Amino acid sequence: MNVSSPRYSLVIPICNEEEVLPRLIARIRSLLRQLDAEAEVIFVDDGSRDGSVRYLRAMIATEPGFRLIELSRNFGHQIAITAGMDAARGEAVIVMDADLQDPPEIVLDLVAKWKQGFEIVYGQRLSRQGETWFKRVTARLFYRLLEWMAPVDIPRDVGDFRLVGRKAVEIFKRMPEHERFVRGMFGWMGFRQAAVPFERPARTTGQTKYRFWKMMNLALHGIVSFSEKPLHFALWSGLAISAFAGMLGAYAIFAWLLDTGVVAGWTSIVVIVALLSGINLFMTGVVGLYVGSIHAEVKRRPLYVIDRLTGFEEPTQATAADKSRKILSLGQDRKLG
């Protein structure tokens, strides 16, 4: 397959997915035969410790059109997606997980919507088969909480399975934040967006990489990245506590003046502690508004480090924006396809 100028790019982050890779690749091959134009498939290894990398290297050596980016360590799912999108060259870039819970066959429906003029087409889960009631309930609560808190439209029950047109990809590559919530970043862009509903099947092989604390961390990043309401809550809580402290202080002073049997020293302690606590929380909220605005801009470290590239015909060209977010290792470990 000639992929000098592919129309489609599939970006698939992996982490310890050796068991599912044979079935995944078989279904991707079937998908590629059904697409109406040339395509490339970019796997991004996010620090796998099983045989995933060995399997992919051997497969890519005999199959053009497949590529592999090996990150130097585990940088996280959202960063792995970013690395793949930086390298993708297609007019339409499709992001999907390797566990087959994002069915490759749905890509044809995403492409059909894209051809209707939508810049971003996302897969929307109608069901979450094979997941515990706890995960289903917490996911539902998170998406509804995020919908209420975020000023941008982030659709419910939507993960990172989506097709992104080249215009949106170029904007995404210019977004420098380190604490990344990819689905929110695409929601922030606007553009014409459409949903493709699908039934999300259960994982049949391997284990999920999103344990409880990883899900919590992603949820916190999503809320902090796209909403200032937690800071506003701290601010108004500080004001409320300050007002309560004032009323409590007034009560303590009157109780002392009227000699109602108040224990000596109680008045001054209550007034000082309550007032200072309220002022402290108030100022924390104010400072937090500024810290929240500049936090993503003060770090200048690259988003990720690439250890090895396999299947790439030529060195990856970094734009000015890309150079601030990645480091490419192009030494002896590099293998050109």
| Residue ranges covered by each domain of the chain | 8-227+300-336, 229-298
Alpha-carbon distance 286 to 51, whole Å? 50
Reply yes or no on whether the pLDDT at 147 is more than 70. Answer: no
What is the three-class DSSP state of 231?
helix
**Residue 119 banded pLDDT, cuts 50, 70, 90:** very high
Q: How much is the pLDDT for 330? A: 44
Q: Smallest Cα–Cα separation from 142: which of 227, 231, 15?
A: 227
CB atoms within 10 A of CB 34: 11
pLDDT category of residue 143 using cuts at 50, 70 and 90: low
- Give the model's confidence band at 190: pLDDT under 50 very low, under 70 low, under 90 confident, else very high: confident
Please give the CATH superfamily to which domain 8-227+300-336 belongs: Spore Coat Polysaccharide Biosynthesis Protein SpsA; Chain A (3.90.550.10)
CA atoms within 13 A on the CB side of 75: 27
Q: What pLDDT was estimated at residue 321?
A: 46
User: Could you tell me where the beta strands, DSSP code E, fall in 174-290?
Assistant: 193-200
Would you say 263 and 220 are in contact if contact means Cβ atoms under 8 Å apart?
no
Question: Which among 127, 269, 98, 277 has a CA at the least distance from the CA of 198?
Answer: 127
What's the whole-number average pLDDT of the chain?
Answer: 78
What angle separates helix 166-173 from helix 182-189, to the nearest 10 degrees?
Answer: 120
- Rounded average pLDDT over 154-161: 78
Does the pLDDT value for residue 229 go beyond 60? yes
Q: 0.75 exceeded by the pTM?
A: no
Residue 21, pLDDT above cutoff 60:
yes
Cα end-to-end distance, the chain, whole Å = 12
Beta strand segments in 143-228, E? 158-165, 193-200
**To the nearest 10°, the Cα dihedral for 284, 289, 293, 296?**
30
Confidence bin at 1 (pLDDT 50/70/90): very low
Does the structure show a pLDDT above 90 at 291?
no
